Amino acid sequence: MRVVCLSGGVGGAKLARGLQDALAPGELTVIGNVGDDVCALGLHVSPDLDSVLYALAGLNDEERGWGRADETWRALESAREWGGEGWFQLGDLDLGLHLVRTQSLRAGEPLSSVTARLTASAGLATSLLPATDDRLRTSVVTPAGSFPFQEWFVSRRHEDEVDAMRFEGADAAAAAPGVVEAIADATAIVVAPSNPYTSIHPILAVRAIREAVVARSVRSVAVSPLIGGRAVKGPLHRMLSRMAGGTSPAHVAACYEGLIDALVIDRSDAPAAAAVPLVVADTLMSSGDDARRLAATVLEATV
């Protein structure tokens, strides 16, 4: 098989790891969101790509849900003590990656090429591709004004209600090398259980990527990020209620109109009807085994 998975950070990374475990080496390509990328302490941080990279390499902290296992925070403490910005959580081990990435980007290397070197360093056979090498940044429109994604998510603790999302730079952004080819060559497309608004729509905002998915001749299957009508973590159910009018499987499916052929939903959300056929499964991934089982169900649904 040649499976392409569109993924955000935390929820997406768990399924990406399950897919990697369920497939033969080299059969998986993950296309990651870069709309959340941020500059912190002068470093280029790609939180979603890094969540996927860490999960695929088995370096992620399963309990915290983001960042690296066995992390320490001394560099950030020191930065704060010296009067530096400390709003964005960066652990010591994590910082090492951001230093390497930032140095390469400043030397003119594209993000996709840096990311390929990082996955190779981690010994991964899976390909991890940023949606674009161009600057694409998500901003969040709220009643209190518009905010860059991380300012809304981290500094304002995603407490403002969301009226709309904007993907700045998306109109001019080209898909990163290999992205459109991977989608066109795929035998299956999977949309991970990520937040559609903050993680998947910024990927699909790159016109060539959306067009490649729309033009597919293979099945595309999404996994709902809701369990019992609520996000496992984060603001998605509030966003869906306000922007889509509800939190049923139909509302999730409507986020991917024309882009999916089936939606895998959690047992707690059935029965319901939606624009695409629903596949009922246990979708909470509390362990690697859960993720592998869910990946197997998703792959079956793509046949």
For ligand GDP, the binding residues (CB under 6 A) are 8-12, 14, 48, 51, 193-195, 198-199, 223, 225, 227, 231-234, 236, 283-285
Q: State the minimum distance, in angstroms, from the CB of residue 281 to ligand GDP.
A: 9
Give SS3 for 180: helix
In the bound complex, which residue of the shown chain has the CB atom lying closest to ligand GDP? 11
Torsion, CA 44, CA 48, CA 51, CA 56, rounded to 10: -110
Decide whether 5 or 180 has the Cβ nearer to ligand GDP: 5
Decide whether 118 or 263 has the Cβ nearer to ligand GDP: 263
Integer Cα distance of 303 and 289 in angstroms: 22
Q: Check if the beta carbon of residue 302 is closer than 8 Å to that of residue 218.
A: yes
Q: Check if the beta carbon of residue 186 is closer than 8 Å to that of residue 2.
A: yes
Q: State the minimum distance, in angstroms, from the CB of residue 47 to ligand GDP.
A: 6
Q: Can you name the residues that pair with 153 across neighbouring β-strands?
A: none
Q: State the minimum distance, in angstroms, from the CB of residue 64 to ligand GDP.
A: 12
Decide whether 60 or 195 has the Cβ nearer to ligand GDP: 195
Decide whether 175 or 294 has the Cβ nearer to ligand GDP: 294
- 115, containing H or E segment: helix 111-121
Integer Cα distance of 248 and 112 in angstroms: 36
Q: State the minimum distance, in angstroms, from the CB of residue 78 to ligand GDP.
A: 26
CA atoms within 13 A on the CB side of 156: 20
Decide whether 109 or 168 has the Cβ nearer to ligand GDP: 168
Q: Check if the beta carbon of residue 197 is closer than 8 Å to that of residue 162.
A: yes
Q: State the minimum distance, in angstroms, from the CB of residue 149 to ligand GDP.
A: 9
Q: State the minimum distance, in angstroms, from the CB of residue 220 to ligand GDP.
A: 17
Query: How many Å from the N-terminal Cα to the C-terminal Cα in the chain?
Result: 10
- 50, containing H or E segment: helix 47-57
Give SS3 for 167: strand
Decide whether 34 or 176 has the Cβ nearer to ligand GDP: 34
